[in-house]
């Protein structure tokens, strides 16, 4: 019995070794380079990009796999996608049955540079050459892939028309499982067909992501694609010291994507954000920002006109460096020599810094650099957006001695102020002084008090009001300018 077991063990070992030897010999005898022209031609036909697969090699351990070293996809002589290595690994049993089932396609150190030119063309999707003979189904219609892996990728997107840029650095992503070219026995006829019917799951994380000058550190998300919809939830990241928690939904992927975003950033460092936007703002402290936004359309101008939702920003005990607001406001009440718009420009931006930063002086430089500082006891900046126009809902701030509020609209498609008013408030929420701003963001038309109003009307009205108050004990009636959540400073 022992002798028989020993014989079986030796025989089994010999068979394994012989199989391994034959497999290794087969790998050495198979010249994968002979298939390079056909493979590169097929990829070029499928993508419209010029393909170079680099050095090709076969391996067996731990699964049969194919390596492509330094592959490049390019357009007009410029690399669009390039990688250090692509590894395609396949399951052995289906392969023996002449059926290709891939365990993974792993792309290592991918570098992607996507660019939309002035004609709106994306270099990733150049016009494809017409096929000489249309085929009934793609040659790899039976191909199935368990997952696609991006390992340490760096991606960049640039829109030449808008100047918008986005980038993801040291990104790791896993997508799958899914059939690449076949669903329910029917081959996909186009990318749109794939987006409309595919069902995918994925995980993504990166060292950092940037949107123009804004940076998110350690972003991570889980996403699903199905029924022509992409859903990403939760999306987490560190944003200038604050914690981002958001969800994103893209519907109608195949034709005209519609975006819905909802999220919040807690404990955002406003000074760090100002530096990133290249503002010279002297405001420091922490903010809580929430947003619910929806838009759609492939063109950025259309997307801006379809922008709807709400944005809110809250802050307490902020500090404005080198400007004593209470002193300035007390002087303004006497002379009105400083425009309220100059004073308020630091605050009206609220959550719209990226849209206003190139148009409005948000630094308060018109006030000059003085001594001391200001404590902003409470700040609220609540807006509603409809068709790209932001309307104030509750926008105000208070110092230990004063309270200011804002009313009006910011028309982002037209880049104009629409009857935007700044008011200095009394304890009842009535405006003791107001200033109205209209015109373009780049050249706002700020209403200024006339000489007659400053020197004659205001003193007479003030004298009348004081006399009425002394006789009746009641303040004159007024229509409140502001009824929001920011309270009036307590009387010292």
This model's pTM is above 0.85? no
Beta-sheet pairing, 431-440 with 444-446: antiparallel
Give the pLDDT of residue 316. 93
Q: 227: phi > 0 → left, psi -120 to 50 → alpha, else beta; which?
A: left
d(CA 186, CA 301): 38
Residue burial 118-155, b: 16+ Cβ < 10 Å; e: rest: eeeeebbeeeeeeeeeeeeebeebbebbebbbbbbbbb
Structure tokens, 361? 């002086």
Does residue 173 contact residue 204 with C-beta atoms inside 8 Å? Answer: yes
d(CA 144, CA 88): 12
| Per-residue CA distances from 154 to 64, 239, 399 (Å) | 28, 20, 46
Q: Tell me whether the omega of the peptide bond preceding residue 62 falls within 30 degrees of 0, making it cis.
A: yes
Give the pLDDT of residue 484. 93
d(CA 468, CA 475): 7
Neighbour count for residue 299 (Cβ, 10 Å): 12
Give the pLDDT of residue 400. 94
Q: Where are the alpha helices (DSSP H) in 337-484?
A: 340-348, 353-356, 451-452, 458-472
Question: How would DSSP label each residue in 114-178?
Answer: EEE-TTS-BTTSPPPPPPSS--SS-TTTT-EES-EEEEEEEEEEEETTT--EEEEEEEEEEE--E
- Beta-bridge partner residues of 202: 175, 223
| Per-residue CA distances from 42 to 82, 276, 366 (Å) | 17, 45, 63
CB within 8 Å of 367: residues ≥ 6 apart: 323, 328, 338, 342, 343
Beta-sheet pairing, 111-116 with 148-159: parallel
d(CA 93, CA 103): 12
Q: Is the dihedral of CA 37, 43, 48, 50 positive or negative?
A: negative
Give the pLDDT of residue 374. 85
Averaged pLDDT in 10-residue chunks for the chain of 492 residues: 46 41 43 75 81 84 82 89 91 71 90 86 68 49 78 93 89 82 52 70 94 90 89 94 95 84 94 73 85 86 91 91 81 61 63 54 51 86 94 94 92 91 92 88 72 37 42 64 93 56
| Per-residue CA distances from 223 to 27, 201, 226, 433 (Å) | 38, 6, 10, 51
d(CA 439, CA 447): 11
Question: How would DSSP label each residue in 331-374?
Answer: HHHHH--S-HHHHHHHHHTTT-HHHHTTTS--S-GGG---SSEE
Question: How would DSSP label each residue in 251-276?
Answer: E-TTSS-EEEEEEEEEEEEHHHHHHH
Structure tokens, 229? 């919809």
Q: CA nearest 102: which of 142, 156, 57?
A: 142
Task: Tell me the backbone φ, ψ of residue 171, rounded to 5 degrees.
Answer: -90, 135
Question: How would DSSP label each residue in 195-239?
Answer: HHH--EEEEEE-SEEEETTEEEEEEEEEEEEETTEEEEEEEEEEE
Place of tokens 């109608």: 252
Break the chain into its structural domains and give their ranges: 28-126+141-238, 256-492
């Amino acid at each position: 019995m022992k002798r028989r077991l020993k014989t079986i063990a030796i025989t089994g070992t010999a068979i394994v070794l012989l199989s391994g030897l034959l497999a290794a010999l087969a790998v050495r005898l198979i010249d994968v380079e002979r298939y390079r022209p056909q493979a590169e031609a097929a990829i070029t036909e499928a993508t419209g990009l010029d393909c170079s697969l680099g050095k090709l090699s076969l391996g067996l351990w731990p699964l049969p796999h194919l390596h492509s070293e330094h592959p490049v996809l390019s357009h007009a002589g410029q690399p669009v996608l390039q990688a250090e290595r692509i590894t395609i690994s396949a399951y052995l049993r289906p392969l023996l049955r002449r059926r290709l089932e891939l365990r993974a396609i792993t792309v290592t150190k991918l570098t992607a540079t996507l660019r939309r030119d002035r004609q709106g063309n994306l270099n990733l999707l150049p016009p494809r050459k017409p096929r000489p003979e249309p085929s009934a189904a793609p040659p790899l219609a039976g191909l199935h892939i368990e997952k696609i892996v991006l390992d340490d990728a760096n991606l960049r997107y640039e829109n030449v028309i808008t100047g918008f840029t986005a980038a993801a650095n040291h990104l790791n992503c896993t997508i799958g499982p899914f059939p690449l070219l076949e669903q329910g026995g029917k081959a996909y006829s186009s990318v749109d067909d794939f987006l409309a019917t595919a069902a995918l799951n994925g995980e993504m994380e990166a060292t950092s992501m940037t949107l123009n000058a804004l940076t998110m550190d350690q972003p991570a998300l889980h996403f699903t694609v199905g029924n022509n919809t992409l859903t990403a939830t939760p999306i987490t990241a560190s944003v200038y010291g604050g914690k981002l928690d958001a969800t994103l939904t893209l519907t109608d992927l195949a034709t005209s994507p519609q975006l819905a975003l909802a999220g919040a950033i807690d404990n955002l460092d406003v000074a760090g954000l100002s530096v990133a936007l290249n503002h010279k703002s002297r405001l420091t402290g922490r903010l809580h920002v929430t947003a619910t936004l929806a838009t759609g359309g492939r063109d950025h101008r259309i997307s801006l006109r379809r922008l709807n939702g709400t944005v809110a920003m809250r802050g307490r005990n902020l500090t404005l460096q080198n400007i004593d607001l209470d002193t300035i406001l007390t002087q303004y009440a006497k002379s009105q020599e400083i425009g309220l718009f100059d004073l308020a420009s630091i605050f009206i931006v609220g959550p719209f810094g990226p849209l206003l930063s190139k148009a409005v002086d948000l630094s308060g430089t018109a006030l000059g650099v003085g001594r001391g500082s200001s404590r902003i006891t409470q700040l609220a900046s609540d807006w509603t957006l409809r068709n790209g126009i932001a309307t104030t809902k509750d926008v105000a701030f208070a110092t230990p001695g004063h309270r200011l509020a804002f009313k009006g609209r910011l028309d982002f498609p037209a880049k104009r102020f629409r009857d935007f008013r700044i008011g200095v408030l009394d304890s009842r929420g009535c405006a003791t002084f107001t200033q109205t701003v209209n015109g373009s963001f780049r050249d706002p038309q700020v209403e200024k008090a006339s000489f007659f109003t400053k020197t004659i009307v205001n003193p007479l009205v003030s004298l009348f009001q004081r006399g009425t108050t002394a006789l009746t004990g009641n303040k004159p009636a007024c229509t409140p300018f502001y009824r929001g959540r920011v309270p009036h400073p307590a009387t010292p």
